[in-house]
Amino acid sequence: MSNPVMCLLFYRETDIILKMPAVRKLAIIALNEIFKGGKPKDTLESLSEKLNARDRAFLMELVYGVLRHRDTLDWISKGFLKKPQRLTRETVNNLRLGAYQILYTRVPEWAAVNETVKLEKKAPGVLNAVLRNIIRKREQLTSELNNMREAALNPSTPNMTRTSHIATVTSHPRWLIKRWIKRFGYKEAFELAEANNKIPPLTLRVNTLKTNRDEVIKRLKALDIDCEPTTISPDGIKLKGTHAFRDFSDLKGYIFVQDEAAQLITYMLDPQPGEKVLDACAAPGGKTTHIAQLMGDSGEIIAVEYDEKRIARLEENISALGLSSIRIIKADITDLKNTEIMKLCPFDRIMLDAPCSSTGVIRRNPDIKYRRRAEDLLVFRKKQLDMLRSVSALLKPGGILVYSTCSTEPDEGEEVIRGFLKTSRDFYIIKDVPFAEGLCVDGFLRTYPHKHDMDGFFGVRLYKNP
């Protein structure tokens, strides 16, 4: 279970001990807020405003570490608790932080215990006893988890037990593990879940209107940032190791942080200079700005977004990249009575990156594992189908529409498209996607963290008959 986390390497042990109380207190506050429904990124940004770079990194590691391994930590702790249901939410999160530091970081064991107990108001004695038991039985716990891993991959183990073991060891909900087992089998389901718990690489998209990939790679290496070109996207650079945007802030405007899978979705659209393109769900602007980039910042791109806060972020990203061909419209894309949008249609191409369960980006947003329920997929599917039907009416005959989601689930991908095509006879799937050979089956693009070291994305190109 030893898994020294990269950002903790910035700290000497004495640094960790000295910084721990204040940062740990913030970590408890963050976890309380996140498990009440707050978004990790927004929560951490508000709490870390006054922290220096190292403390901010430590805070993020503590919070994201607990989010990735929450259910495993709870399974371990409950073995030493007589009445876990009596603990308050704050006490439970404090315990999770202490256990996480002992089991997954280089924080000295005594420091993790002492600071957990100091910060505990309700049950300091209980937490002290549990954490000391975890330290005392660390080898036994490690062995038990390893045995569970082996049993989960052993066909002679009862199926329900195998499913339970994978869910516990990888800290994923059983309903999701069951779905993956049905589709992929036990081994691959386990691999996907484990991939979701690894710290993902930071991937950049080069703004080719201002520079080129080779030049950006040279500048990154001059900053001692090891990196390599992405394997499929011609605009991408994958960073090695753990980095934050501040490490290469001088490149602002020349790069955009965007996973390679998301970059491939824009290449599926293949927008051409001078065209009129609609991005139906535009914020925060990754695909919108990439569309403009591929069009040479010519033509007209209509970026539709309803949320004011997301529009502000969209505007900021457009400005940073120096783009002028994008026009933002605040609207609900399913409202076909919106005169501003209707005056602009029909469009040559449409991008619909639909709101979804986000199960494809769990490795970046581990709280998603605990937010989603199986029934949510049906709700998302209905909304996605409604949106697809709405935006398809805005496409000109002979035009191309790309539908995508950052979901691993067919309910939000293939099934939505099949449902759409049953009632939209003038559309068909473009099955030939040359640049994505090996990622496409019958025109359906699929990427996965465990197979491609990319976020889990679905994409498809639809053509509207003239």
Q: What is the CATH number of the domain that holds 250?
A: 3.30.70.1170
Q: Of 344, 247, 255, give the one whose Cα is nearest residue 300.
A: 344
Indicate whether 162 belongs to any domain: yes
The Cα 363–Cα 67 span in angstroms is 10
Cβ atoms within 10 Å, residue 344: 16
Phi, psi (rounded to 5 degrees) for 256: -140, 130
For the cut 50, the answer to whether the pLDDT of residue 15 exceeds it is: no
**What positions carry a catalytic annotation?**
406
Q: How far is CA 22 from CA 44, 105, 363, in A?
A: 14, 18, 27
Indicate whether 421 belongs to any domain: yes
The Cα 180–Cα 187 span in angstroms is 10
| pLDDT tens track for 21-78 | 689 999 999 999 999 999 999 999 999 888 888 889 899 999 999 999 999 999 999 9
Q: What percent of the chain has pLDDT over 90?
A: 84
Indicate whether 414 belongs to any domain: yes
| pLDDT tens track for 188-212 | 999 999 999 999 999 999 999 999 9
Do 288 and 381 have their domain in common?
Answer: yes
Burial class (CB in 10 A: 0-12, 13-18, 19+), 129: middle
Three-state SS at 35: coil
Indicate whether 224 belongs to any domain: yes
**What is the mean predicted confidence (pLDDT) over 307-321?**
94
For the cut 50, the answer to whether the pLDDT of residue 12 exceeds it is: no
What's the pLDDT band for 170 if we cut at 50, 70, 90?
Answer: very high
Three-state SS at 257: strand
For the cut 80, the answer to whether the pLDDT of residue 4 exceeds it is: no
Indicate whether 1 belongs to any domain: no
Alpha helices, H only, 79-223: 89-104, 109-119, 124-136, 138-152, 159-170, 174-184, 186-196, 213-222
142 versus 243: the higher-pLDDT residue is 142
Pick from 136, 156, 175: which residue ends a domain? 136
**What is the mean predicted confidence (pLDDT) over 333-347?**
82
- Domain around 166: 140-196
| pLDDT tens track for 76-121 | 999 999 888 899 999 999 999 999 999 999 999 999 999 999 999 9
pLDDT at 435: 85
Phi, psi (rounded to 5 degrees) for 448: -140, 145
Q: Which residues pair with 205 in a beta bridge?
A: 236, 256
Do 31 and 79 have their domain in common?
Answer: yes
CATH number of the domain that 288 lies in? 3.40.50.150
pLDDT, averaged across the chain? 93
Cis peptide before 346 (omega within 30 of 0): yes
Do 331 and 383 have their domain in common?
Answer: yes
Do 353 and 297 have their domain in common?
Answer: yes
For the cut 80, the answer to whether the pLDDT of residue 10 exceeds it is: no
426 versus 335: the higher-pLDDT residue is 426
Handedness of CA 81, 82, 85, 87 (dihedral sign): negative
**What is the mean predicted confidence (pLDDT) over 172-180?**
98
Confidence (pTM): 0.92
Do 358 and 289 have their domain in common?
Answer: yes
Do 281 and 413 have their domain in common?
Answer: yes
**What is the mean predicted confidence (pLDDT) over 243-271?**
93
Do 230 and 282 have their domain in common?
Answer: no
2 versus 408: the higher-pLDDT residue is 408
Lowest-confidence segment of 1-5, 212-216, 361-365 by average pLDDT: 1-5
pLDDT at 334: 79
Three-state SS at 2: coil
Pick from 112, 136, 160: which residue ends a domain? 136
Do 189 and 227 have their domain in common?
Answer: no
Indicate whether 355 belongs to any domain: yes
Total number of domains constituting the chain: 4
**What is the mean predicted confidence (pLDDT) over 270-293?**
96
Pick from 136, 152, 167: which residue ends a domain? 136
For the cut 90, the answer to whether the pLDDT of residue 338 exceeds it is: no
Do 222 and 363 have their domain in common?
Answer: no
Taking phi first (over 0 means left), then psi (-120 to 50 degrees means alpha), and beta for anything else, what does residue 346 get? beta
Do 280 and 247 have their domain in common?
Answer: no
For the cut 50, the answer to whether the pLDDT of residue 419 exceeds it is: yes
Q: Of 69, 177, 81, give the one whose Cα is nearest residue 125.
A: 81
Do 14 and 151 have their domain in common?
Answer: no
**What is the mean predicted confidence (pLDDT) over 121-126?**
95
What's the pLDDT band for 336 if we cut at 50, 70, 90?
Answer: low
Indicate whether 241 belongs to any domain: yes
CATH number of the domain that 86 lies in? 1.10.940.10
For the cut 90, the answer to whether the pLDDT of residue 9 exceeds it is: no
The Cα 450–Cα 430 span in angstroms is 27
Do 407 and 434 have their domain in common?
Answer: yes
